[in-house]
A and B are shown apart, each in its own frame.
Chain A
Amino acid sequence: MIGLAIGAGVFLILGAFLLLYRLHTLVAVMKRPEETAGAGMNKTNAFILLLFLISGMALLFWYSITYFDDYQLPIASEHGVTTDRLFWITMAITGFVFIVTQILLFYFSFKYQHNDKRKALFFPENNKLEIIWTILPAIVLTTLVIYGLIVWNKVMAPAPEEAEVVEIMGYQFAWRVRYPGKDGKLGSYDFRKIDVTNEFGLDFSDKAAYDDFMPRELHLPKGKPVEFRIRARDVLHSVFAPHFRLKMDAVPGMPTRFWFVPTKTTEEMREETGNSDFNYEIACTEVCGKGHFSMRLLVIVHEAEEYEKWKAEQQPWLSKHPEYMAQVPDNLKELAMIKSQAQDISIN
């Protein structure tokens, strides 16, 4: 509907231009010989420039205000609040500059349209003016840079000790997640150990791997720092969680990380947005091939206790895939069984 309305508006405006154009041609043909400035259409063009400025600004304000909630995603992370604040401060400054400069551009064009009786002002330079408008942007930009640096350094600082660690791995064309299990340590991996079942390439000579578990969705606790350990198996991918204001590339051969604190559970977000089907999602933002647009990972944010409960219920991967016990070195088999709680499975 909105689209239609806007579309109709545009076509009306275009139609108006066309009409003006026709009209003017006819008038011009009747009364003016050649040789007038701007093919005899100087006034018309000056007028349309002004019209464009006014209608453009009106459209800009109308749309930005009316549809604010549509394009402004609710924020669900601690750092997201600060980066968004910086975003809106930048918006205020650039918005002001945008409006002033565009008005000057179109208004000057209109005001100083050609007039046979006038002569342009010969005004080749003015050092004072130029110094002013070199220094003024420099000051404003310095402020933005300093503020930006502060925010950036905080967001990118190393994760706190107690952060929940989760591994996210991208591959063509999905994400997989891995939790460290009870020992709180992610087991090491090797891409040469990857096969159809062992998608992460877990290395079973590392004790830490035995209790790692891999749920289908990503579960997070509210109010606790979480660190994503991000990697890719084949080509570049990029973890993008829009509501958490989080993005980081997944690079084969070079693990990356990003930590943050979720501030709203999925339930809370459902209430806030009034959408009972709301779900957090992770998307891929680095082109990775045919299925790039379908790399969706469902994210569920729980209250902290709920999250612990969920974690306790998870089965280590090794317990579900006992055939991989064979890869565990003999001296560690017992430990592996204990850690993966896989007592009922025979060893060979």
Chain B
Amino acid sequence: MASTVLDEHVDHITEDHAHEHNESFITKYIFSQDHKTIAKQFLITGIFWALIGGFMSLVFRMQLGFPDTQLEWLRPLLGKWLTTEGKLDPEFYLALVTMHGTIMVFFVLTAGLSGTFSNFLIPLQIGARDMASGFMNMLSYWFFFTSSVIMFFSLFIETGPASGGWVIYPPLSALPQAMSGSGLGMTLWLISMALFIVSTLLGGINYITTIINMRTRGMSFAKMPLTIWSFFLTAIIGLLSFPVLLAAALLLIFDRSFGTSFFLSDIYIAGEALPNIGGSPILFQHLFWFLGHPEVYIVLLPALGITSEVISTNSRKPIFGYKAMILSMVGITVLSFVVWAHHMFVSGMNPFLGSVFMLLTLIIAVPSAVKVFNYLTTLWKGNIIFTPAMLFSIGLVSFFISGGLTGLFVGNSAIDIQLHDTYFIVAHFHLVMGSAAFFGLMAGVYHWFPKMFGRMMDAKLGYLHFWVSFVGIYMVFFPMHYIGIAGFPRRYYSFTNFDAFSSFTDLNAFVTIAAIATFFAQFVFLFNFFYSMFRGKRAPANPWRSNTLEWTTPRVPKHGNWPGEIPTVYRWPYDYSKPGAKEDFIPQNVPLSETPESNLPAEAAKVAVEKVNEDK
């Protein structure tokens, strides 16, 4: 059997680890192949990017909330991107929103979230020594790192970083004469994203292979924690959709540098008519959103997986409708590939296509709704412990509801005519994707910090962090619904040119203040994170009294995770508060035969089979 082969391999690894101290600093912390170290590398890089992306948003929020303020004090940082009056340059404003979007969507919420938790949890929760290929895993991080370096570098070049929006629609992104960010900045963006895609693919292949092949004895798909299910499906989505973005990027590179006309036609710019004929900007939009929509679920699904785990553990209750949760995630996965053109209702594509995509889009709301109801039922009659992770998960569900419901507006093409590219969209996706996924990330960090670093984070600072962030985020994004209904377009440097958009200055200022408060609350987290890493209370083996396998490892697992044999799995991960049981949780590695007092009738019948298997 495959599993025995694996075990031998594994024993080999553990033996190796007898000589662990021989590992140099470099192989242990930098070019490490240990999934746990790689996870931390992704996390730290993600946090770094989150700070930069967050700071950028403050700068452009200042412009929107307080258009008359002097930003002279930013001159050391921004240099010539400030006008002589100390205002933000309008083109740099666009560069900021573009980079903010790119950074947050890809570098923070894709790499920082999936990269961290898929890497950290997959081997630990399915009972494996490491990823299928530690080397590929290491490459995945270093491709991401290289991509990060290039993107970071692009922030400082003379002509500025890419500025055409995170969706980089050509012709704007294809023509350096259209805006200065479409010069070298765009080239670097494309190179960086190409490397990023390679990183995602390397990671994704690894996640999928590991989950399929390396589950410990007894860990059938039907016993897998929902976290693992979500990482599995996320990796599949990524594997199928990212290559399409790569293709789009490649064609764009051709159009930019080699005179092809995939996306360009009939263009007169900067006093000359370009030779390009026959291309279609719409084609690029189809390719982009073929990734772009699945991408939003790549961001969201891991967060939902984490939340499922955290909510169940801290409600001391099985997740309600485990199978329905899996089915709805599978549904979302499949449907996420057939809704992309809802971003293009008014792009000029055939209205009939709009009809089809409206229909498909609204179908995807059904599995989303099922998930929400299941979370609510999980809380119902629970015995809820508000750890910081739990609060962040509850916050996530709240955001998911708020932002998901507005999806029904923008998913309806007739309504979207008015709302498209207004602040309503900004509100929609920041709640449902940005904030929800960010809260999922935070829930994950608070929940698994003890396993990552062997120490506890301070809960009270966690509460402070949660409350200011939660209230703050609602204060930032909820008002944007009103501004959007009033028709305010997004990506506007200023609204003073239009009578129609001259109101809401108060509300915009308010949003900016809330954004500043929210941003600074993150420093509470940062302090807590780094301080606890070294000075936190030593974590008990299973601080949250949780069922999943990672809590059966030593306090700080070494490379290889379990010093002895990998535990065998006998039950699903959600046996919380089972009637008859002594404790309110029964870990997955406790055999049914040891818990006769709490076995359900169907399980009692399995005890005999279990015995036979053990004897083999």
Contacts and interface: CB of A to CB of B under 8 A. Distances in A.
B497 A155 contact: no
Contact of A240 (B273, B489, B499): B489
A344 interface: no
Contact of B487 (A64, A73, A155, A256): A73
Contacts of B494: 293
Interface string B268-286: 1101010001111110000
Given A124-B322, A134-B366, A293-B492, A101 B485 contact: no
Interface stretch (A39-47, A208-216, A217-225, A312-320): A39-47
Contacts of A48: 467
Given A41-B386, A152-B358, A251 B578 contact: no
A245 B318 contact: no
B418 A245 contact: yes
B252 to A, nearest CB: 14
Contacts of A94: 405-406, 408-409
Interface in A62-90: 63-64, 67, 70-73, 82-84, 86-87, 90
Interface in A1-33: 1-4, 6-7, 10, 13-14, 17-18, 21, 25
B268 A194 contact: yes
Interface string B460-490: 1001100110110011001000110111011
Most buried by A among B384, B483, B576: B384
Contacts of B315: 112, 120
B579 interface: yes
Most buried by A among B317, B348, B406: B348
Nearest to A275: B499
B362 A141 contact: yes
A138 B576 CA distance: 32
Interface string B36-61: 00000000000000000000000000
A215 B370 CA distance: 55
Given A152-B413, A242-B500, A290-B91, A253 B279 contact: yes
B386 A284 contact: no
B268 A123 contact: no
Nearest to B416: A247
A114 B383 contact: yes
Interface string A183-223: 00000000110101000010000000000000000000000
A246 interface: yes
A48 B470 CA distance: 12
B497 A86 contact: no
B359 A290 contact: no
B421 to A, nearest CB: 4
A189 B257 CA distance: 28
Contacts of A256: 348
Contacts of A240: 421, 487, 489
B412 A292 contact: no
Interface residues of A, number: 122
B366 A286 contact: no
Contacts, number: 369
B332 to A, nearest CB: 13
Interface in B343-387: 346-348, 351, 354-355, 358-359, 362-363, 365-366, 369-370, 372-377, 379-387
Contact of B377 (A21, A129, A242, A246): A129
A72 B485 contact: yes
Interface stretch (B136-144, B151-159, B229-237, B394-402): B394-402
B593 interface: no
Most buried by B among A13, A48, A144, A292: A292
A98 B318 contact: no
A58 B374 CA distance: 27
A164 to B, nearest CB: 20
Dominant secondary structure of chain A at its interface with chain B: helix
B266 A277 contact: no
Contacts of B172: 235-236, 287-289
Contact of B348 (A37, A125, A152, A251): A251
Nearest to A153: B355
B467 A17 contact: yes
B472 to A, nearest CB: 9
B308 interface: no
B175 interface: yes
Interface string B495-530: 101111101111101100110010000000000000
A148 B273 contact: no
Most buried by A among B264, B383, B490, B513: B383
A34 to B, nearest CB: 9
B475 A10 contact: yes
A289 B91 contact: yes
B96 to A, nearest CB: 13
B555 interface: no
B246 interface: no
A296 to B, nearest CB: 5
B10 interface: no
Contacts of A242: 418, 486-487, 500
B320 interface: yes
A188 B499 CA distance: 34
Given A121-B317, A247-B346, A254-B281, A52 B383 contact: no
Interface stretch (A102-110, A326-334, A335-343): A102-110
B453 interface: no
B81 interface: no
B268 A245 contact: no
B405 A98 contact: yes
Given A112-B380, A130-B324, A148 B498 contact: no
A73 B401 contact: no
Contacts of B148: none
A65 B143 CA distance: 51
Contact of B267 (A37, A191, A238): A191
Given A145-B362, A281-B499, A125 B577 contact: no
Given A71-B482, A235-B171, A149 B489 contact: no
A105 B178 contact: no
A6 B268 CA distance: 48
A31 B514 CA distance: 36
A121 B312 CA distance: 12
Interface in A247-284: 247-249, 251-254, 256, 277-279, 281, 283-284
A46 B514 CA distance: 23
Given A1-B506, A125-B320, A285-B489, A172 B401 contact: no
B420 interface: yes
B250 interface: no
Contacts of A113: 384, 386
A159 interface: no
B320 A123 contact: yes
A281 B417 CA distance: 16
Nearest to B584: A119
A130 B463 contact: no
A137 B365 CA distance: 8
20 contacts: A6-B506, A17-B471, A21-B463, A38-B385, A39-B460, A71-B483, A72-B485, A82-B414, A83-B417, A90-B412, A97-B405, A114-B385, A123-B320, A123-B380, A124-B318, A125-B323, A145-B359, A233-B269, A242-B487, A290-B90
Given A138-B366, A236-B169, 17 more contacts: A2-B506, A17-B471, A71-B483, A86-B412, A87-B415, A90-B412, A98-B402, A105-B376, A112-B380, A120-B382, A148-B413, A156-B351, A172-B269, A238-B346, A290-B90, A290-B94, A293-B493
> Which are the 3 A-B pairs with shortest beta-carbon distances?
A253-B265, A3-B506, A156-B351
Interface of A: 1-4, 6-7, 10, 13-14, 17-18, 21, 25, 37-39, 41-42, 45-46, 48-49, 52, 56, 60, 63-64, 67, 70-73, 82-84, 86-87, 90-91, 93-94, 97-98, 101-102, 104-106, 108-109, 112-115, 118-126, 129-130, 133-134, 137-138, 141, 144-145, 148-149, 151-153, 155-156, 171-172, 191-192, 194, 196, 201, 230, 233-236, 238, 240, 242-243, 245-249, 251-254, 256, 277-279, 281, 283-294, 296
